[in-house]
Copies of this chain bind each other. A is one copy, B any other.
Amino acid sequence: MTDELIVDCQLRSGLELFAHTWDPLVIVALRGEPLRRRVLKNAIGGVSDKVLTESLHRLLANGLVARRSFAEAPPRVEYALTPLGRTLLEGPLLALGHWLEGHAEELLAAQEASEAG
């Protein structure tokens, strides 16, 4: 009974994890090894320094991404998924990916049909 309401309620806060344009893409970009900031930026593509910083701050604040800096001559910082971040990637994000694989065509068809009409 309360089940549905709770889900709906939490859903609203959960959706914010996907609401910011770049946050999910950062997570996907970090699916493999830890990446340096510059590499991460290039891996995503089309994101500005400022926005990437904001995105990383949110992800850090939510415990989805971890930051590690090395005291070296050329400054080095690496970002990686936390275990929690990885569950988000392998759960909801992967589910969305699978859904798209199976329904992207159908989605496109509907979009074109509505433009025609």
Contacts and interface: CB of A to CB of B under 8 A. Distances in A.
A28 interface: yes
Interface in A50-84: 60-64, 84
Contacts of A38: none
**DSSP majority for the A interface?**
helix
A63 B28 contact: no
A1 interface: no
Given A8-B28, A15-B18, A18-B18, A99 B111 contact: no
A108 B42 CA distance: 31
Contacts of A28: 7-8, 11
A2 interface: no
